[in-house]
């Protein structure tokens, strides 16, 4: 059964969404991420994907107090990312209440650092991000191709012990045009053991149903929840 993972993206301590990673498209949905998280928990959600967009942009964690507040106010399992660069960053995020830390560009540019984190914290604490355009990994807020094929990237990290990957097709993200089902099917066909979390483009409950059918472990849902395209009540069948 697919796990439902709402996204809370943070700018200036507020809950926002972007389209295709473009900060100029910022839309504030709620002044209080804590209230949003509590509403998700009350509906039966158990997991949260939290991204410090200020941190991602500035290259250092900015909104750790928001993580702390949400972790203290709920029992949600939180994966947190955005601006994580050092071992002390990882430690601070876990100490602030995150169950997992999510990483992206650093895993592309400094795999040796991530290997150290796997040894120190365990692969089960890491949620690896794979941002993809035309089956190539993108970095630096989706602005630059890393010239690494998605399948080679996943293979390398599976060999390092990583089991959980969230994959975002950036051509879909925030546009409410459906998920990248064909891409996920290809990934799961090549790596059937992988716990793949779909991200980006999920628009209606049928998208969630389809991702469940093809074998995705989880689905990150953002704008569709905030704009009422998917109601929490529709997700009840997936909430244990």
* Residues with active-site annotation: 9, 131
Distance (Å) of CA 135 to CA 24, 140, 145, 149, 151:
26, 17, 10, 6, 8
**Which stretches within 43-140 are classed as H helix?**
53-58, 64-73, 87-95, 105-109, 111-121
Q: How far apart are CA 86 and CA 74, in angstroms?
A: 27
Q: Phi-psi bin for 212: left (phi > 0), alpha (psi -120 to 50), beta?
A: alpha
Q: How far apart are CA 104 and CA 194, in angstroms?
A: 17
Q: How many residues does the structure list for the chain?
A: 240
Distance (Å) of CA 155 to CA 42, 144, 196:
38, 21, 13
């Amino acid at each position: 059964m697919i796990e439902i993972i709402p996204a809370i993206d943070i700018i200036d301590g507020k809950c926002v969404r972007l389209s295709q990673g473009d900060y100029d498209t910022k839309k504030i949905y709620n002044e209080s991420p804590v209230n949003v998280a509590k509403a998700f928990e009350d509906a039966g959600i158990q997991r949260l994907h939290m991204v410090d967009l200020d941190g991602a942009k500035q290259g250092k964690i900015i909104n750790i107090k928001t993580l702390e507040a949400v972790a203290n106010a709920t029992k949600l399992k939180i994966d947190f990312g955005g601006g994580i660069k050092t071992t002390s960053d990882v430690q601070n995020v876990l100490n602030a209440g995150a169950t997992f830390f999510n990483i992206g560009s650093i895993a592309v540019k400094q795999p040796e650092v991530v290997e150290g984190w796997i040894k120190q914290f365990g692969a089960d604490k890491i949620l690896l991000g794979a941002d993809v355009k035309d089956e190539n990994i993108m970095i630096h807020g989706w602005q630059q191709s890393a010239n690494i094929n998605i399948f080679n990237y996943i293979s390398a990290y599976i060999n390092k012990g990583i089991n959980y990957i969230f994959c975002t097709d950036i051509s879909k993200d925030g546009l409410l045009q459906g998920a990248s089902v064909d891409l996920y099917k290809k990934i799961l066909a090549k790596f059937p053991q992988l716990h793949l979390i779909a991200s980006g483009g999920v628009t209606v409950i049928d998208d969630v149903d389809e991702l469940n059918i093809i074998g995705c472990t989880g689905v990150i849902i953002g704008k569709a929840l905030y704009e009422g395209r998917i109601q929490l009540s529709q997700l009840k069948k997936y909430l244990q």
